[in-house]
Amino acid sequence: MAVGLGVMLVAGCADSSPSEPPATAAPVALEVEVASCAGRVGQEERIALEGDVGDVLSAYVVDGFLGDYPRQGFVRAFDSFTGAAAASAARDIDLLTASRFARSSSVRATRLQARISCLADDRGDLVGATAQVAFDFQARGGDTGTQPFGLRGRYMLVREGGEWAVFGYDVARDDSGGSG
């Protein structure tokens, strides 16, 4: 099952110049699919997991890559990270967000896919999950012209106190436009 989350994952365009066509492409939905689970995880829990992890990833994508450009404040993308992971991510902010395109006129998502592997304990309670992601974006304007870029890899999440949080990541950033 795949869930397309109903968030507007397309950038606004605060001050695009006449020579730069506005980002009018249809919004790209984040597709989240639970690919596998270890332990007894029922269908309802899988659906809830897709929604919960989808919410975490959506917030990360919106705050880290989209929004109104030119923009600042990319560090908000790590609000759903654990403290230690957020501190680490802040050091890697240029790789984990679109901060290097802060002066662009727009950034839009062209592909947002996540496949989830989850872990339940021996009572069937969800403990952790891996989100294998394929995110592609396109930045316009600013210093770089039109620039596609992408992110591939894993975000690792745990559920503590009922909330999902990213505690680690292992991702590769490709700013060459060659992601595929």
Partner 1 sequence: MRRVVRSVVVLLLGLALLGLPDPARQPIRLSLVRVETAKAVDFEQGIVWVLVLGSDAPDGTDVMDGRADAIQLVGIDFDQGAAVAVGVPRDLWVETPGEGFDRINAGLRSGGPEQMARSVRRLVGVAPDFVLTTGFDGFEDMVDSIGPLTVRSTRAFEDPEEDLTVRRGLNSMDGQDALGFARARVALPRGDFDRSANHQQLLRAALRRLRAREDVEGFVERGVFAAISGLDTELSPADLYRLAQALTTIDLTRLTACVLPGTPGVESGAQVLYPDVTLSRRVGNDIRGDAELDRGCSP
Q: Which two tokens stand for residue 31?
A: 């597709």
Q: Which two tokens stand for residue 21?
A: 């066509």
Q: Please, what is the Cα angle at 127 between 121 and 132, to 5 degrees?
A: 120
Q: How is 125-169 classified by DSSP, letter by letter? A: -EEEEEEEEEEEEEEESTTSSSEEEEEEEEEEEEEETTEEEEEEE
Which CB atom, from 6 or from 42, has the smaller least distance to partner 1? 42
160 binds partner 1 (CB under 8 A): yes
Please choose, out of 23-31, 43-51, 60-68, 91-99, the segment that lies near partner 1 by the rule CB under 8 A.
91-99
* Selection from 111, 134, 116 nearest residue 47 by Cα: 116
Local structure of 42: helix, strand or coil: coil
Provide the minimum distance between the beta carbon of 121 and partner 1 in the complex, in angstroms, as a whole number. 4
The residues that bridge with 36 in the sheet, in sequence order, are: 117
84 binds partner 1 (CB under 8 A): yes
Provide the minimum distance between the beta carbon of 91 and partner 1 in the complex, in angstroms, as a whole number. 9
Q: Which parts of 99-158 interact with partner 1 (CB under 8 A)?
A: 115, 117-122, 127-130, 132, 154, 156, 158
96 binds partner 1 (CB under 8 A): yes
Interface contacts to partner 1, rule CB under 8 A: 35-39, 82-85, 87-89, 92, 95-96, 115, 117-122, 127-130, 132, 154, 156, 158-160, 167-176
